[in-house]
Amino acid sequence: MEPSLQIAVTDDYQQVAFQMADWSPIKKRASVTVLSDHVSGEKDVIARLLPFTILCVMRERTPLTRPILAALPNLKLIVSTGKRNASIDAEACAALGIELQHTGYLESGAPEMTWALLMAISRHLVTENMNFRSGQWQTTIGLDLKGKTIGIVGLGRIGKKIAQYAKAFDMNVIAWSQNLTKEKAAESGVHYVTKDDLFKQSDYITLHLVLSERSRGIVTAAELSLMKSTAILINTSRGPLIEEPALIDALLHKRIAGAALDVYDVEPLPADHPLRKLDNVLATPHIGFVTEETYRIFFRDTVQAIEQWLAR
């Protein structure tokens, strides 16, 4: 392989790619560039990625659409972290002769993050931590989880794990999705309800669906209007599952008690975005999968995929 071969690791926000795996075999044969800042405009993405033969893509941070891929004649291989990446046009890759590979993934991060947000917003942990640091003492009153109802939208692998967590906290667990049946719900010890009833009955609602054309915007102003004024909405799956303007409106006018969010329509979220300013929002910057164990799998598998490709 020519020593001029160029590889890019995109959107390594924490600049840890080289810490999480041994890249030395790759560096002997290619130039590896780590890109830690995010670029999203089509022209900017093309200009930045034009020199590279191999892209190591972190989840769904950089869009790789057909127009972008078609404008990258040097690109031969994309290694994407995780089992799927909706921001990459896989059909375009195949048509353009660009090989697309995926790494392994640790599935515990997302449900753990969901429960961390649920606990934190219930007990006002961020507010009370800030109080503690500023010299104040006990300004909020928390919520008990025992006896509360949690509604799970999507009872797949992550949704089932959330159901297990909830039952350990003595919560009532109900669920709905477009494909869920009473029998499937019962297998997980969960009570199946209609979509409307889930939004009406739940004290907490958490979303665990794969983003698709069918699931996009599955939570609209209509669903939000059914929620209790004391209810909390949690989303660690994908931002576009919820109609964002409707959510902001419901939060702004206190029609629901709050939201705990880790995902958004646009990421990174603009600095002046309304969600950054609402006092009933607990939000994190899409860190559900950002764990040391997950990153080690991501970058280890990325290096192995590149080594195998170079050995051909």
Q: What is the dihedral of CA 58, 62, 64, 69, to 10 degrees?
A: -100
CA 288 from centre of chain: 6
Strands (E), the chain: 6-9, 31-34, 54-57, 77-80, 99-102, 149-153, 172-176, 191-192, 204-207, 232-235, 258-261, 281-283
Cα dihedral sign, 190-191-196-197? negative
From CA 260, how far away is CA 182, in angstroms rounded? 28
Residues sharing a CB contact under 8 Å with residue 133, sequence separation 6 or more, in sequence order: none
Catalytic residue among 29, 255, 267, 296: 267
Catalytic residue among 102, 124, 208, 286: 286
8 Å CB contact between 231 and 204: yes
238 counts as catalytic:
yes
Write the CA distances from 278 to 12, 126, 221, 267, integer angstroms. 29, 14, 18, 18
286 counts as catalytic:
yes
123 counts as catalytic:
no
Catalytic residue among 60, 238, 243, 244: 238
**φ and ψ at residue 12, rounded to 5 degrees:** -85, 75
Q: Which of 255, 249, 214, 215 shows the shortest CA–CA distance to 235?
A: 215
β 54-57/77-80 pair status: parallel
From CA 15, how far away is CA 18, in angstroms rounded? 8
Looking at the annotation, which residues are catalytic?
238, 267, 286
